[in-house]
Amino acid sequence: MLGYALRRLFGVVPTFLLIVAAAFFLMRAAPGGPFDDERTLPPEIEANLQAAYGLDQPVPVQFARYLGGLVRGDLGPSYRMKDFTVAELIGRGLPVTLSIGAAALALALLLGIPLGLAAGLRQNGWADHAAMSVALAGIAIPNFVVAPVLALVFGLQLGWLPVAGWEPGSLRHMALPVITLALPLVAYLARLTRGSLLEVLQSPFIRTARAKGLAPGVILRRHALKPTLLPVVSFLGPAAAGLLTGSLVVEQVFGLPGVGRYFVQGAINRDYTLVMGMVVFYAALILLLNLAVDLAYGWLDPRIRHD
């Protein structure tokens, strides 16, 4: 298992470098630059700024310098927030984003998987139809619609929860963002779990277990649950990273000081290093989560061996 993990870890390096290179050159190919909107600056001062940040060098040279800093763990300074480095900005916003994302993922797992299991065990019953109707609504309605509606109802009209701001450890400030992020994931998990369970229940080893007279609950726990969760685990890797990327909109709506805010600001201001820092963070997160999913397969399915 350790050897397989190390091989996969080294295997993601070319993919990671390809993502970094694509983002770097695409940003440089787009028209404009980080100092173009500062029209009050004399041309001499703007040229000095370009030279100070190395933007006057050829793009391949800039890329080589960026990779050198990346190897050392240096994401560079922010071009527009001159008092901070990119690593400092990410470090300031990351606890908020991770708190919201982890809570949303936990809520989605607690609701989505049991909902899908209940629907699959009662196929075509009222519980199945009700669960899938809720899931369909959760998939169809995007979070940039859900977030303002929740803020309007529970924040402004009922006054139960704050609609903006952040206090570390405050469940009241976390409630609306977490629910907004979790609802689509609950829907996907419920549908995926239901479909996987229905397929597993038709397998020969399940029919054999029934022929032996095992109770339905025992069959589910001992034989059906793990193979049912295989596609769910496959989905959770990119879905967990998607919670962080999806939080971009949620953080803007609810005024949260997470990393999504810096990504949006960096994109608007053409803050190259800040955007690249977010791309590096998201790319590394997605690749590592996918690696974790591959390793989890060996535990869920004994037929899979990582030699």
Are 55 and 124 part of one and the same domain? no
Phi and psi at 85, nearest 5°, equal -90, 165
Are 156 and 239 part of one and the same domain? yes
pTM for this entry: 0.74
Residue 163 has pLDDT above 70, yes or no: yes
Is residue 74 in some structural domain? Answer: no
| pLDDT given for residue 117 in this prediction | 82
| pLDDT given for residue 307 in this prediction | 54
Is residue 76 in some structural domain? Answer: no
Is residue 14 in some structural domain? Answer: yes
From the list 178, 194, 275, the residue with the least C-alpha distance to 232 is 194
Q: What is the CATH number of the domain that holds 215?
A: 1.10.3720.10
| pLDDT given for residue 227 in this prediction | 75
Lowest mean pLDDT, pick from 136-150, 168-182, 235-249 = 235-249
Q: How confident is the model at residue 276 (pLDDT cuts 50, 70, 90)?
A: confident
Is residue 81 in some structural domain? Answer: no
Are 22 and 136 part of one and the same domain? no
The boundaries of the domain holding residue 182 are 86-300
Are 182 and 58 part of one and the same domain? no
Are 53 and 169 part of one and the same domain? no
Is residue 73 in some structural domain? Answer: no
Q: How many domains does the chain have?
A: 2
Lowest mean pLDDT, pick from 25-29, 44-48, 162-166, 192-196 = 44-48
Lowest mean pLDDT, pick from 21-25, 76-80, 84-88, 107-111 = 76-80
Is residue 48 in some structural domain? Answer: yes
Q: How confident is the model at residue 298 (pLDDT cuts 50, 70, 90)?
A: low
Are 239 and 207 part of one and the same domain? yes
Rounded distance between C-alpha atoms, residue 63 and residue 65, angstroms: 5
pLDDT tens readout for residues 33-86: 666 655 566 666 667 766 766 666 777 888 888 888 888 877 877 777 777 788
Whole-number mean pLDDT of the chain? 76
Residue 246 has pLDDT above 60, yes or no: no
Q: How confident is the model at residue 31 (pLDDT cuts 50, 70, 90)?
A: low
Is residue 80 in some structural domain? Answer: no
Q: How confident is the model at residue 96 (pLDDT cuts 50, 70, 90)?
A: confident
Are 52 and 114 part of one and the same domain? no
